[in-house]
Structure 1
Amino acid sequence: MAELNTGDGGGKGKGGKVRSKKSNAKVDLTAMVDLAFLLITFFMLTTSLSKPQSMDLGLPDKDEKKDENKDIKVDQRRTVTIILGKDNKIKWFHGLIEAPEAGGAPADAVYGKNGIRKEILKRVVSIPQVTGDKKKGMIVIIKPTKLSTYRNLVDILDEMAICDVPTYAIVNDFSPEEKKLAEEMNK
């Protein structure tokens, strides 16, 4: 049993007077200890632990019929291509790089709200989305180079989630113009 002993109020050492002996005051702490353990147990069982967060990512099927893949024609006004380079560099262009008159002139950007996010948000708002069977809207093509880091890819995927981009793809095919742009960027 847990108890708290207090000092003896006896009369020893105080002159010659004899006083009546007082009994020690004892406080039983068993109930308080029981309550403390009950509260600790209650809060441990009712608290939810932090769960790891992950992003849903749609991957292609492992289909062995590679010859059946067909090229899909997409309106170039709906596409934005982002090339990731070394040292956190980003080059992006709207439409096709081969057709700069359609908005395809490459531009530099940085990660964050005043960089690539601002450009993506402008285009997400300007390209209408149709709900229903066919969802139209902006398509972002992400092309990481061999010198870009995994963190750069995660950061750009976070930007896609923040901007609520309906369709995006990670691609490792580079056109000759895009290869030249990536080589200039990674110098």
Structure 2
Amino acid sequence: MAEIIENNSGKSSGKRKPKKYSTDIDMTPMVDLMCLLITFFMLTTAFSKPKVMEIVLPDKTIDTNIKPMPVDKNRAVTIIMAENDIIYYYEGLAKADSLPSLIKTDYSKDGIRKFLLKRNKPLLEQIIAFKEKITKGELVLPRDSVNSELKKLRNKDKVGPIILIKAADNIKYKNFVDIIDEMAITNIARYAIVDLNHLELKMLETAPK
């Protein structure tokens, strides 16, 4: 609050002197208000959480005593990310005497996503049925339990595709992010990032551009 100081002398000279006002302002109430505002915004503002992308990478340590886990050829799907935002994929496993043809697609919803949704249809139907029960109120579960049940459905999947993600030279980091996003969108239960083999390098040489 501003202090008003009146300077009145005891004697009256018949001529009134102008009043003098102090220019000092008490800022104490403003400091209290600022503290309240800072506290309010700290309590009401949500802190940004770190975003972590979970991916499976090949183990760089080689143990000759551990045999690599075989991949079911009926479930195997290999996705090869090439430059210029091109994706190639083939089903099954490549063999020297019978090289599969690479199918060209892209990262759009009508590209690799459409194919993955079709291949993963059995698991997707289970997930949709479970979510419908939650929506209709037939199942009442907290969010953590819902996520846990969805994870169990993915772990129990025995027929869905096993995606092997591979990268050619000169691809963008964005391509990795996009393909991992597609795995989440299409609810792929099992996928891993692995290296190209010599057969696939040969297949890329004759792939459609």
TM range, smaller chain: 0.5 to 0.7
Q: Distance in 2 between matches of 1:168 and 1:133?
A: 12
2:173 pairs, out of 141, 150, 174, with 150
TM-aligned CA deviation for residue 110 of structure 1: 0.9
Map 1:2-13 to 2 at 5 A. 2-3=1-2
Does 2:161 match 1:138? yes
Q: Distance in 2 between matches of 1:169 and 1:157?
A: 10
Higher RCO, 1 vs 2 (CA within 8 Å, ≥6 residues apart)? 2
Give % identity: 43
Change (3 A) 1:82 1:58: closer
* Contact kept? 2:58, 2:192, Cα under 8 Å: no
Change (3 A) 1:51 1:133: closer
* Contact kept? 2:85, 2:106, Cα under 8 Å: yes
Q: Distance in 2 between matches of 1:147 and 1:133?
A: 34
Q: Distance in 1 between matches of 2:59 and 2:82?
A: 28
Does 2:77 match 1:55? no
2:186 pairs, out of 156, 163, 181, with 163
Q: Distance in 2 between matches of 1:68 and 1:43?
A: 58
Instruction: Indicate the residue corresponding to 2:114 in structure 1.
Output: 118
Letter in 2 for 1:150: Y
Instruction: Indicate the residue corresponding to 1:34 in structure 2.
Output: 32
Instruction: Indicate the residue corresponding to 1:108 in structure 2.
Output: 104
Q: Distance in 1 between matches of 2:39 and 2:205?
A: 60
Change (3 A) 1:72 1:175: farther
Q: Distance in 1 between matches of 2:86 and 2:154?
A: 37
Give the aligned length.
Answer: 168
* Contact kept? 1:141, 1:171, Cα under 8 Å: yes
Letter in 1 for 2:162: I
Instruction: Indicate the residue corresponding to 2:81 in structure 1.
Output: 84
Instruction: Indicate the residue corresponding to 2:204 in structure 1.
Output: 182
Letter in 2 for 1:53: K
Runs of 4+ off more than 6 Å: 127-130
Change (3 A) 1:133 1:32: closer
TM-aligned CA deviation for residue 54 of structure 1: 1.1
Choose 149-158 or 40-49, whichever is displaced more. Answer: 40-49
Q: Distance in 1 between matches of 2:155 and 2:77?
A: 23
Aligned residue for 2:116, secondary structure, equals helix
Q: Distance in 2 between matches of 1:148 and 1:114?
A: 21
Consecutive unaligned residues in structure 2, runs of 5 or more: 5-20, 127-151
Letter in 2 for 1:183: E
Q: Distance in 1 between matches of 2:60 and 2:88?
A: 31
Q: Distance in 2 between matches of 1:118 and 1:162?
A: 11
The normalised TM-score by structure 1 is: 0.67
Deviation readout 1:47-91 (Å, 9 max, x if unpaired): 2221221112344566452x1232433332212111111111111
Change (3 A) 1:59 1:92: closer
Consecutive unaligned residues in structure 1, runs of 5 or more: 6-23
Aligned residue for 1:108, secondary structure, equals strand
